[in-house]
Structure 1
Amino acid sequence: MTNTASFRETNWSSGYYELAIELGSCDDARLQDVLSALWSAAEVRGCFGRTDREPAEQDAVPCSVASLTHFGHLRGQVLLPTGQLVACGCVTVRGGTEGSDWLDFYVPVDALDRAGVAYWAGRPFFRSAVMDDWLAAIGTETYGSATFSLGVVGFSVSGCTDAATLAGVLPDERDIGYLLPQDGGVRYAAANS
């Protein structure tokens, strides 16, 4: 059986289930604040720059914007709410929509599938209420330490919308989950279609 927490095995080939966060600016200090808060909220084990070696075979790197810039992605391992340890990672898109940076935290779908995470059959994409709720909780906790403009949750959701497009209004029908800042906190609206 394939190790769901492995960096080298085929956990990375079928897309990602994501919490994509629009920071609202292009600022290294802000990006660092959100990265640190997110890594802590998700309780990620380790921080590594390479996928050609397992965590035990490489030195950890700082969970920093500098490491993210140098390696392109940062990876670690995270315990799912179902109890399985899986590989995870993050990547940033600098100066994306509306001149804002994005930070995407993801778990590979292949690892989720091998871990037995249930998803909605009959859909053309992976959707899991367990993952949605878990990622939304991570986003909510992150927002408590480092605010952001928007969070979206689902399969390959990065860049599918932005805070300026939403203008503070959630769509009635949602293919993805939204974390929208409101009244000093963040409101989660789950996918409903």
Structure 2
Amino acid sequence: MSDPASFRDPTNWSDSSYELGVEVGSTDDARVQAVLSALWSAADVRGCFAYDGREPHEQEPVPCTVASLAEYGHLRGQVRLPTGQLSVCGCVAIRGGDEGSDWVDFYVPLGVLDKADIPYGDGRPFFRSAVMDDWLAGIGAEAFGRAPFSLGVIGWNVSGCADSATLAGRLPERRDIGYLLPRAGVLHYGAANT
């Protein structure tokens, strides 16, 4: 079995991603930076690199900044998954501009979940992993304590599938994904329940 922490293994980066998508609540670079830094720290990511085709020791680290995200598109590192397995991970920003809030997505590619023995598919038309959901919810909760945000969504390719304005402070009763929703300064986790 190949190493899920290897940057050079293209199968680690293949497919889509299991992610914590965070609606920043602003398009201000300083707010996006605060959320990015809080997520990277809360996940205890090792390193910060621009390229997925070179191992960390084969490239210079880059700053974990909004400017680096703008320049390279993604930031990459290594994270210890809930199983204890070291894995590749990444982060991307989706800038809303005049149309709305910015998003910062922390992700683990699906290509590494099989290698790390984390189940995520059970025949449904979407992927789900209670282990990953709870782990990402914990990262989101810790990040929120450092840099409050408007909404967090957890699951397979979830960024932008909901927004804080539409939710208006209420968790959906039926949830195909996980939600981290602040109310009165307190973050509430609504796990997927379908």
Number of aligned residue pairs: 193
> Equivalent residue for 1:124?
125
In the aligned structure 2, how far is the partner of 1:171 from the partner of 1:98? 24
> Equivalent residue for 1:56?
57
Following TM superposition, by how much is the alpha carbon of 1:145 offset from its aligned partner in structure 2, in angstroms?
0.4
Mapping of residues 28-47 of structure 1, within 5 Å: 28-47=29-48
* 1:143 and 1:185 in contact (8 A); partners too: no
In the aligned structure 2, how far is the partner of 1:15 from the partner of 1:129? 18
In the aligned structure 2, how far is the partner of 1:189 from the partner of 1:35? 22
Name the SS of the counterpart of 2:162 in structure 1.
coil
Code of the residue aligned with 2:193 in structure 1: it is N
Q: Percent identity?
A: 68
Residue ranges of structure 1 left out of the alignment (5+ in a row): none
Runs of 4+ in 1 over 3 A off after TM superposition: none
1:2 aligned onto 2:7: no
Name the SS of the counterpart of 2:25 in structure 1.
coil
Code of the residue aligned with 1:74 in structure 2: it is L
* 1:7 and 1:52 in contact (8 A); partners too: yes
Code of the residue aligned with 2:62 in structure 1: it is V
In the aligned structure 2, how far is the partner of 1:151 from the partner of 1:23? 9
Following TM superposition, by how much is the alpha carbon of 1:96 offset from its aligned partner in structure 2, in angstroms?
6.2
Aligned CA RMSD, in angstroms, stands at 1.2
In the aligned structure 2, how far is the partner of 1:170 from the partner of 1:51? 36
TM-score (norm 1): 0.97
TM-score (norm 2): 0.96
* 1:8 and 1:53 in contact (8 A); partners too: yes
Name the SS of the counterpart of 2:87 in structure 1.
strand
